[in-house]
Amino acid sequence: MVIVEIGGTVGDVENAYFLEAMRELAYEEGPNSVCFVALTYVLEPKTLGEQKSKAAQLGIKRLMELGIQPHIIACRADNPVSEKVRQKIAQYTNVPMERVFSMHDCESIYVIPGMLREAGLDFEVIRLLELDRRVDLMHERKAWLEWCDFVDRIKIVRHEVKIGITGKYTSLRDSYASIIHALEHSGVHLATQVHIEWIDTSTVTDANVAEKLAGLHGIIVPGGFGVRGTNGKMACIRYARENRLPFLGICFGFQLAVIEFARHVCSLPHANSSELDPQSKTTVIDILPEQKKIEGLGGNMRLGGKDVILTENTITWRLFGQKSSVRMRFRHRFEVVPEFIEVLTRHGLVFSGKAPDHPIMQVLELPDHPYFLGTQAHPCLTSKPLRPQPLFLGLVAAARKFAYPAQDIPNAVSAAEIILKQTSPSDNAADGEKLCQTRKKIKARS
């Protein structure tokens, strides 16, 4: 099954080609092969005090003019969409009333699957696509219990932490949407409310970094391109390293952590990246010679899923359940220059994740730091509500330990290991009953 989302407004020239492609796809695949779900917005002007469906009707009418008949209509609104409004939309769009669904604002996006199931839309989709015979009811019941267990955990908050996202795109929060969700997933499993503080690194300097990061229990230095804000990011990395503040560097954050370590620990004051300074005489981050020979689509950028070999007895190795290798998603071009690996490791930096067949460093850590990790990958892209990403899980656990030093709280690795064992897939037939008992206990505690 393939799920395709087309954004924008029907009628915009930007998405016209995609809508036509979907119309042709439905025609070519034939009946019961495609299910169209139209998302519309039901207005509720405060001056009128009632919901109006005319705008929604006109939007879906425009979609039908393009040759697409929606099978399901999801109605976004501030409040539950009334039955009267749903009837009007159903009547003017030729969609049965039971498939016009109120998707109003709620406390968490993670309760929406329950709303969909309660409305019976999951079985409507199965019926529309004629998938009835392919449904494994026992597996479906187990999966649903796991999801309900996760939703129940959202309401349980025992600790609160503040984690700063230090970047230069902080004015556009959608730039870091996957990071936000990865933190949410980890926070739920650790019964910890994660509050995000946005730090614009273009305003951070060595002189004010302590003030900018005051009150935080951990920081993330995410990916990015270009020179602007890099000095501020390195100031944040240095502060985290020297003050034992939990740190996670992602992609560009990994590269800047290497540069910062080379400058202030390895006594290489002019260490830099060829991306930031092409004339640098101490280039510790660069495009590898074999990459420069690559031509074609994507050029020399490393894209997609890649295997990562983990070093035993490292923090990363333990976070990933002591696996010898894992698969992660990448999107980067610059690497640690192999000639500097020896001097970096000699001064204490550990490269705990490497590419299988090339001298490409993928994960770094400081073993004497509570939590100082960086990766060339984008681990946030593989985080799931029921399977939190280990590196983010470790960061939130370390931030929790940092925020409550007087409490007997497991350290980052121990806490992550406990959660990952609980969330690892299992074929045990008794899992369904265990989840039922767990849900009862969670509700009793909350």
Per-residue model confidence as pLDDT tens digits over 243-263: 999 999 999 999 999 999 999
At 321 the pLDDT is 92
Q: For residue 310, which of 279, 265, 351 has the smallest C-alpha distance?
A: 351
pLDDT in tens, 119-128: 999 999 999 9
At 332 the pLDDT is 84
At 423 the pLDDT is 79
User: pLDDT confidence of 293, banded at 50, 70, 90?
Assistant: low
Degrees to nearest 5, angle at CA 314 with 288 and 245: 90
pLDDT in tens, 307-362: 999 999 999 999 999 999 999 999 888 999 999 999 999 999 999 999 998 889 99
DSSP string for residues in 301-368 = -EEEEEEEEEPTTSHHHHHTTS-SEEEEEEEE--EE-GGGHHHHHHTT-EEEEE-SSSS-EEEEE-TT
- CA dist 289 and 402 (Å) reads 42
Contact 79, 103 (CB under 8 A): no
pLDDT in tens, 130-184: 998 888 889 989 999 999 999 999 989 999 999 999 988 877 778 899 999 999 9
Residue 316 sits at φ, ψ, to 5 deg, of -60, -45
- Mean predicted confidence (pLDDT) in 15-36: 94
Amino acid identity, residue 136? D
User: pLDDT confidence of 223, banded at 50, 70, 90?
Assistant: confident
- CA dist 403 and 161 (Å) reads 7
Give 1's contacts (C-beta < 8 A, 6+ positions apart).
none
Degrees to nearest 5, angle at CA 268 with 265 and 271: 110
Residue 113, pLDDT above cutoff 50: yes
Residue 437, pLDDT above cutoff 50: yes
pLDDT in tens, 359-401: 899 999 999 999 999 999 999 999 999 999 999 999 999 999 9
At 168 the pLDDT is 83
- Mean predicted confidence (pLDDT) in 283-292: 79
pTM of the model: 0.86
Number of residues that make up the chain: 446
Strand residue runs (E) in 88-239: 100-104, 159-167, 192-200, 218-221
* Structure tokens, 352: 């705990």
- Three-state SS for 39? strand
Top-confidence residue, 10 or 291: 10
- CA dist 75 and 43 (Å) reads 10
User: pLDDT confidence of 430, banded at 50, 70, 90?
Assistant: very low
Amino acid identity, residue 387? R
Residue 252 sits at φ, ψ, to 5 deg, of -60, -35
Residue 297, pLDDT above cutoff 50: no
Contact 182, 216 (CB under 8 A): no
pLDDT in tens, 305-315: 999 999 999 99
Residue 279, pLDDT above cutoff 80: yes
At 287 the pLDDT is 86
With b for 16 or more beta-carbon neighbours within 10 A and e for fewer, the 77-96 pattern comes to beebbbeebbebbbebbebe
- The domains located in the chain, with CATH, are 13-130 (3.40.50.300), 156-423 (3.40.50.880)
Residue 441, pLDDT above cutoff 80: no
Contact 316, 322 (CB under 8 A): no
The percentage of the chain sitting over the pLDDT mark of 70, rounded to a whole number, equals: 92
Tell me how crowded residue 112 is: count the other CB atoms within 10 A of its CB.
14
Give 438's contacts (C-beta < 8 A, 6+ positions apart).
149
